[in-house]
Amino acid sequence: MTEADSEISLTFARGLALLRAFDADGKGMTVADLARRLDYTRAATRRLVRTLEMAGYVTADGTRYMLTPLVLKLGLGFLQSRSIGRLVGPVLHGESLALGEPISLALLSGRELVYVVHAPTSAKIETAGYTIGSSLPLTATAMGQATLAFRHAPDLSVQDGPGTDQGLATIRARGFAHVPDTDGKGFCAIAVPAFGLDTDAAVGALGIVYPNGRYGTDHLLDVIVPNLQKCARYIAMAL
């Protein structure tokens, strides 16, 4: 298949992959680094990198290229279209104050759960270095489990995960997912599914991370879960 006769643009697809191939260590990457990582030719790689540079998305330091803050604008249309700044952020913040714990939102995209609203006050999340755009493990996190449990069966393609089958039925019956302090780091997580207005399959989840022992079962069931669920209903129109 050549680019000319295809329905998609290989150049654009390759450029998008290049944008995601930049290193996380902040030292920047050379054209050769990127070409090797992506298995592109150097000439094609240079052309894509120079295009990003001309548009302001990367900057050069000698032969090393680094992403600029402008790349954050590529996600802005999504955040604005979902009213993350105007509706979701304020609602989550208001409920966070009421609950005493910051609430996070992650949304399913394909088979990835993507962090959309970051809770900067969660020590556990900060230790892990999560930011907007980070992927959360589907089966190992409360937000992932709360999402999976409320997908329709054909969607539920992660049934080979650790103990998910039985676990998801329980989560569905209870209406929330809870992950205790299994790794001994002192934090637990609890999450409820989030639905859009026109779907009965979860599009993501709302959750909090809290220090082990802070809440008893009664407080979780009577206060935390109902408040998270109320919050999920409030933001449904944005999802």
Query: Which residues in 60-89 contact its own copies (CB under 8 A)?
Result: 66-86, 89
Identified binder of its own copies from the candidate list 41, 63, 121, 157, rule CB under 8 A = 121
Q: List, in sequence order, every residue forming a beta bridge with 117; answer none if it has no partner.
A: 105
Identified binder of its own copies from the candidate list 32, 60, 128, 169, rule CB under 8 A = 128
Cβ 170 to its own copies shortest distance, Å: 27
Identified binder of its own copies from the candidate list 1, 39, 110, 163, rule CB under 8 A = 110
Residue with tokens 């809440």: 215
Residue 132 binds its own copies (CB under 8 A): yes
Q: Which of residues 16-55 bind its own copies (CB under 8 A)?
A: 16, 19-26, 47-48, 50-52, 54-55
Instruction: Lay out the sheet containing 135-136: strands in order across.
Output: 135-136, 112-117, 104-109, 204-211, 187-194, 177-179
Size of the site for its own copies (CB under 8 A): 75
CA distance 86 to 238: 10
Residue 93 binds its own copies (CB under 8 A): yes
Residue 229 binds its own copies (CB under 8 A): no
Identified binder of its own copies from the candidate list 133, 186, 211, 226, rule CB under 8 A = 133
Q: List, in sequence order, every residue forming a beta bridge with 212; answer none if it has no partner.
A: none
CA distance 95 to 100: 8
Q: Which of residues 164-223 bind its own copies (CB under 8 A)?
A: 204
Q: Which of residues 141-160 bind its own copies (CB under 8 A)?
A: none
Cβ 51 to its own copies shortest distance, Å: 4
Torsion of CA 110, 116, 121, 122, to 10 degrees: -10
The first and second tokens of residue 55, run together, are 């548009």
Do residues 145 and 169 touch, judged by C-beta distance below 8 A?
Answer: no
Cβ 216 to its own copies shortest distance, Å: 26
Identified binder of its own copies from the candidate list 56, 180, 186, 226, rule CB under 8 A = 56
**Number of Cβ atoms within 10 Å of the Cβ of 158:** 16
Nearer to its own copies, 210 or 220 (CB): 210
Do residues 142 and 177 touch, judged by C-beta distance below 8 A?
Answer: yes
